[in-house]
Amino acid sequence: MVLSASAVPMLITAGVTPTVMQGDNNSQAQINALIAPIVGGDFLYKGVPNGTEEGSFKESYSTLWNLSDLTPESFAIRYDGGFSFTPSYLLVKDGNASPNWYLYDVQGWNFTIYGRGFFPNQGSISHVSVYGRTCPKPPENQVPDGGATATLLGLACAGMAIAKRRTRS
């Protein structure tokens, strides 16, 4: 199940698009601890300019870097389909700038996010990460509990027996 959303791309421009949070913590563990109460979900995907992709949704996303039609400090993340998801937040990080990371609200996005103007003359993007809620898949081998069904069937049989006894009298 993929959530429906408009097929209009989202454009995030550093210094123009409002951030939810930003900071100078260089450790990803520190950043994750800071943003956890806000993102309220899971780490889904991380794209790195060298082409490395990680996370449980790495098969569902593609990241392009340094798009000439935007700026040298730009990227595009595209959702290619696959797993159920509810993306909520995008983290853009660099280790050499101040602030060196930005968190953006991207609620309901499922098409392409373009980012531009990040860390000009200060460094470059070290990675982008997507956080959100995954939709749980039902277990494939789950057998329904027959107890409730048996109880209802028993009550129905008892009710029919009582009704039949009353019609005979």
pLDDT, residue 92, reads 93
pLDDT band, very low/low/confident/very high, at 151 (cuts 50, 70, 90): low
pLDDT, residue 21, reads 93
Tokens at 26, concatenated: 């260089």
Considering only CA atoms, which of 16, 15, 106 is closest in space to residue 61?
106
pLDDT tens column, 35-64: 999 888 788 889 998 889 999 888 888 898
pLDDT, residue 4, reads 42
pLDDT band, very low/low/confident/very high, at 2 (cuts 50, 70, 90): very low
**69 vs 59, residue with greater confidence:** 59
Sequence spans of domains, the chain: 10-168
For 18-30, b/e burial (b = at least 16 CB within 10 A) is ebbbebebeebee
> Distance between terminal CA atoms of the chain?
56
